[in-house]
Amino acid sequence: MTPKSEREKMAAGEWYSCQDPELRPLQRRAREAVHQHNSMPPAERGSMAPALKALFSEVAEGSFIEAPFHCAYGMNIILGENVYLNAGCAILDTAPVRIGASTMLGPGVQIYCAQHHKDPALRKDGLEIGLPVTIGENVWIGGGAIILPGVTIGDDAIVGAGAVVTKDVPKGATVIGNPARPISVKS
């Protein structure tokens, strides 16, 4: 049996070297698409620069990404219908990132899939694992929130501005703080 490449390990959710030369062209392609998106005049860019839209795994009708934006690979990002990402969002998509329909991300929201190794020697060698992030439909994520690797946020949830989401958020819940924890909200 042929050993898996680092890209295959990354795709399989296994430990891999993020410094592997095979990953560099994928990172470079993402940087070029991000640059196009961030530097195009808004009237030309429309909802998303063509190179960025082509890079993503899936983009449904009505999705819109403000500039500036950043992603690690882009190929692992799936956007549902009418998803809105405000200015300054960053998605480090070393694993699949699914954002459901009608979800809105405030400015400066960061989504991280990469988790580096805790052993210093292995971390120095670039060993990391990508854990998927799933955000349901009709979710509102406030500005500056950080979503950590492996988190799932249920439909209709709210993540308060500046929250650091370290654990799954149930459907319809509102979470705030660092680490994010549920609060009771009156309509």
Q: Give the residue numbers marked as catalytic.
A: 116
In tens, the pLDDT along 112-123 reads 999 999 999 999
> 6 pLDDT exceeds 80?
yes
Q: Within its chain, how far is the Cα of 126 from the centroid?
A: 20
The angle subtended at Cα 13 by Cα 125 and Cα 98, nearest 5°, is 120
> Quick one: pLDDT at residue 2?
87
Which tens digit of pLDDT belongs to each residue from 145-165? 999 999 999 999 999 999 999
Q: How far is CA 171 from CA 2, 32, 92, 106, 153, in A?
A: 42, 36, 24, 19, 7
Q: Sheet with 127-130: list strands edge to edge.
A: 16-17, 127-130, 114-116
Q: What average pLDDT does the segment 35-46 reach?
A: 97
Cα separation, 103 vs 85, in Å, equals: 9
Q: Residue 1 has what pLDDT?
A: 83
pLDDT greater at residue 71 or residue 185:
71
> Does residue 186 have a pLDDT over 70?
no
Residues 41-74: pLDDT tens digits? 999 999 999 999 999 999 999 999 999 999 999 9
